[in-house]
A = this chain, B = another copy of it.
Amino acid sequence: MSSDPLVIFTPSGKRGRFPVGTPILTAARQLGVDLDSVCGGRGICSKCQITPSFGEFPKHGVTSTPEALSDWNAVEERYKSKRGMIDGRRLGCQATVKGDVVIDVPPESQVHRQVVRKAATARAITMDPATHLYFVEVQEPDMHEPTGDLERLERALKDQWGIDGITADLSILRRLQPTLRKGNWQVTVALHKGHDDTSHRILDIWPGLSETRIYGLAIDLGSTTIAAHLCDLRNGDVKASSGVMNPQIRFGEDLMSRVSYAMMNPGGDQEMTRAVRVAINALTETIAAEAGIDPNQILETVFVCNPVMHHLLLGIDPVELGQAPFALATSGSVSLNARELDLTAMNETARVYVLPCIAGHVGADAAAVALSEEPGKSEDLVLVVDVGTNAEILLGNKTRVLACSSPTGPAFEGAQISSGQRAAPGAIERVEIDPVTKEPRFRVIGSDLWSDDPGFDAATAVTGITGICGSGIIEAVAEMRLAGLLDPSGLIGSAAQTGTQRCVAEGRTNAYVLHDASATGGPRITVTQSDIRAIQLAKSALYAGARLLMDEMGVDTVDRIVLAGAFGAHISTRHAMVLGMIPDAPLDKVTSAGNAAGTGARIALCNIAARAEIERVVGEITKVETAIEPRFQEHFVAANAIPHATAPFPNLMQVVSLPDVSFNTGGGDGSEGARRRRRRK
């Protein structure tokens, strides 16, 4: 035994002695080394490519020589000539052990390889999806051995892959016999085993060794937008990302108006359920077309969403979510067949996993943010704000995590804004206003040029300038405040008060003209007083939620802030703080995490252990209910000013100076602040 050659794998460092003639793949399996194989060592899938390392390895105490492996063989030669293979690589199933050898497993040959996310926080996702492909050779039926084809497939999977227990849907059973015969008793099967399943489920089957790739969708189902990532279930690559408006908007812009719609209209909940499912089907088709794949290759979908969307997706009347105590029908995760949700655009056996909800107002989207941003693993106190029509807010560190949800409304997503639109080419996304001239410059999605750069008109000729998106309106309002066009109460000054003709009277209030091409038949984009009010309501709700969690935690400041949301990556943190959306913090400690909920969905799609983890974590999060908390109202009212007046902004003040202006437009503006100021004068 001890005279058998020593095989050492890198990067794992796993090692063991094996008899001469043992294939490298076999050695890897016996040692538990992560070396991929779909064909089970038959030299046809090429997934088990390895790189022998030759030389002295004092650290490992071996000398690895080319003679330590069997010769390059015909199988490898055929594969390399037909499909190509990097020089120095071998097929792990063909190369056998002859002497002490060091074998490197390149990342592409690892099943559980790590994928670095593109988002700002470069946390890696370890690939361990619920669905894998397996190639098997099935014993032919025999009159003297009267088992069924499914039972022989089951035995083959056990013998060849060590897989115990399979189940098959009727649709698979229907195709099983012709597929086995077409593949001449060799088939590739997609097997799915969720983190709480006891057996593997056949999701699809192909004759012979299939070259198919399999995909999953990670869907962030928001009140206003539905965003989806199409991920390769083999390596986690995002093949395409796409989004559509949530068609339920026609039943109510925010969640409570949709709950009201369900309460007032018999069958209204089902109407909304149908609408969102149809939209998801359309989105599935769009994203598959964008990626150039067959929608049948989509075998899994993970959903994250707020509780009302959660119930409406599942077809549960959300009425209880509209009244205290805001009871969820189910708070746990939900695993089911896509067909049960009428998701007909993907593979007919595709599985769905919906993350657990934290509470009646804090949904699976908040859970996804917790999975993505991991506040519970943070050493310092982190505030995570996921901005959407409902903001999910998490505050915590290793000791404790608090969560709440705040009804910001859709203004941050460009809705309820006079020139608002969703983030799409042509939308203004960045705004600067010169504090002296009060003249704006801006950038639109689709071009890197500013509006005063040469060539801007040509660059935006195709898309045009169509409106202003969420990040654009945040910057516009903050810049207006910084330029002295807006007073702390949120009133826009007149042309006389501000000294710029860009401030124009609109009814009894003023508006700021950001862009005016009306003379040439183009659009006129303004920020109106009611736009400012909508943003004030939204940001007050957001701030009040964060503040409530800070009260509960007994702190006045946080160590760092993570801004997330469908447009999280695009929010300028400085502008967000000028607006008073978030508490004061060192500006270099305010980061954007992009669509954290969507990232959480991707993590749950690519790693089943993450599903078990978030189910555990959700149980440990303390949920704070904003709807019944009087302090929420207090914070909300106090946060109306720009920035809000409830706490000083020492960090912000180091980088900006806020003009001390106060406007009275005289009537028309019925806000408390305006009235109070009028009395004062």
Contact = CB atoms under 8 A, between A and B. Distances in A.
A330 B146 contact: no
A173 B316 contact: yes
Contact of A320 (B177, B329, B359): B177
B359 A146 contact: yes
Interface stretch (A148-156, A242-250, A503-511): A148-156
A141 interface: yes
Q: How large, as a class, is the contact surface on chain A? A: 35 or more
Nearest to A335: B167
A143 to B, nearest CB: 4
**Which of A147, A320, A327, A360 has its CB near the most chain B CB atoms (within 10 A)?**
A327
A655 interface: no
Contacts of A330: 148-151, 168, 173, 176
A382 interface: no
A515 interface: no
Contacts of A563: none
A325 B649 CA distance: 82
A6 interface: no
Contacts of A265: none
B360 A328 contact: no
A75 interface: no
A148 to B, nearest CB: 3
**Which of A174, A332, A623, A625 has its CB near the most chain B CB atoms (within 10 A)?**
A174
A625 to B, nearest CB: 5
A274 to B, nearest CB: 14
A368 interface: no
A86 interface: no
B328 A148 contact: yes
Nearest to A269: B174
Interface string A296-338: 0000000000000000001111011000111111111000100
Interface in A102-146: 141-143, 146
A315 B625 CA distance: 51
Contacts of A625: 143, 146
Interface string A605-635: 0000000000000000001010010000000
Nearest to A359: B146
A170 interface: yes
B173 A331 contact: no
A3 interface: no
A325 B173 CA distance: 18
A149 B336 contact: no
A359 B328 CA distance: 49
A198 interface: yes
Contact of A147 (B142, B143, B178, B331): B331
A314 B149 contact: no
A146 B358 contact: yes
Contacts of A628: 143
A143 B177 CA distance: 54
B146 A329 contact: no
Contacts of A148: 327-332, 357
A328 B314 CA distance: 37
Nearest to A324: B143
Interface of A: 141-143, 146-151, 168, 170, 173-174, 176-178, 198, 314-317, 319-320, 324-332, 336, 340-341, 357-360, 362, 623, 625, 628
30 contacts: A141-B327, A143-B360, A143-B625, A146-B328, A146-B358, A146-B625, A147-B331, A148-B327, A148-B329, A148-B332, A148-B357, A149-B320, A149-B327, A149-B329, A149-B330, A150-B329, A150-B331, A150-B332, A151-B331, A170-B314, A170-B340, A173-B314, A173-B316, A173-B329, A174-B315, A177-B316, A177-B319, A177-B320, A177-B327, A178-B317
Top 3 A-B pairs, shortest CB-CB distance:
A146-B359, A148-B331, A141-B327
Given A141-B327, A146-B331, A170-B340, 12 more contacts: A143-B360, A143-B625, A143-B628, A146-B360, A146-B362, A146-B625, A149-B327, A151-B330, A176-B330, A177-B316, A177-B320, A177-B327
